[in-house]
Structure 1
Amino acid sequence: MSFYCAMAQSYSQLEAELGYRFRDPALLARALTHSSHTHENRGQASGFDNEQLEFLGDAVLGFLISARLVEAYPSLSEGRLSKLKAHLVSASYLLETARRL
């Protein structure tokens, strides 16, 4: 079985597990493709990876957390809001939250 056939089967299993059907399989593949795979397999890979999507997702998450913090804590200083946001978007906190889900 080729790498891409195996990945398509894995995506189907992921969709079944999540109970959600992704509308754009190419975008899903991009989101789940680490840059190391793209660099190690230049001849086979389609030249895309998840880094731009990760950058965009980080910005959206930061914006949403910031907006919610300002709404929830209007009297906090910018410095305190920044510290709270940094904690809430940290990898360790997000991992802990994902595990609870």
Structure 2
Amino acid sequence: MSKLGNRTVQYIAGICVSFAFCFTGATISWPSPVIPKFKSGEANLQLTDTQISWVVALAALGALPGCYIGQVLSERVGRRRTIFCAAVPGIIADDFDNKND
């Protein structure tokens, strides 16, 4: 592969890693502005305090097996492919969210 091709792949990998950190930050900070909207009825969804606590807790519960799955995938299919594949759901979710605005 040429130097230009290698550089392009490296740039794409860097962008995907940046997306991963942005998605992680958005996931961690998402409940802060949304919970008051659930409680006030501003959102089109009414949740009880118990349901809200489950929504917040499930993100952390999903992160626990996600770390191990990411490690296994990195070892079996490679770090670059794992990073590329991990960015795809976030990009799709962002595109879906923008269409619903």
Same fold by TM-score greater than 0.5? no
- Structure having greater relative contact order (Cα 8 Å, sep ≥ 6): 2
- The TM-score normalised by the length of structure 1 is 0.31
- Choose between structure 1 and 2: higher helix proportion: 2
- The TM-score normalised by the length of structure 2 is 0.31
